[in-house]
């Protein structure tokens, strides 16, 4: 993962960073897999979708 996307994840999660698991998906199969695993969509940039799930 590039530094830009890592920085974006930190901004999105702010203080809750240590209480979440973060994933990034691009392909529909990856997105479906994350949603089925309980991840919630939080942000999109450059065709990448960012998800998070509380620990």
Mean per-residue pLDDT pooled into runs of 10, the chain (55 residues): 69 64 93 96 91 87
pLDDT at 13: 64
Tokens 């089925």, residue? 36
Residue 37: burial class (beta carbons within 10 Å; 0-12, 13-18, 19+): exposed
Tokens 């991840």, residue? 39
Domain count for the chain: 1
pLDDT at 1: 55
Tokens in use for 34?
Answer: 């994350």
pTM score above 0.75: no
pLDDT at 14: 62
Tokens 């702010």, residue? 14
- The C-alpha atoms of residue 10 and residue 37 are separated, in whole angstroms, by 22
Domain membership of residue 19 as a residue range? 3-54
pLDDT at 54: 83
pLDDT at 50: 93
């Amino acid at each position: 993962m590039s530094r830009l996307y890592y920085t974006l994840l930190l901004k999105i999660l702010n203080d809750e960073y240590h209480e979440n698991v973060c994933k990034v998906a691009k392909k529909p199969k990856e997105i479906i897999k994350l949603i089925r695993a309980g991840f919630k969509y939080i942000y999109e940039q450059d065709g990448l979708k960012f998800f998070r799930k509380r620990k």
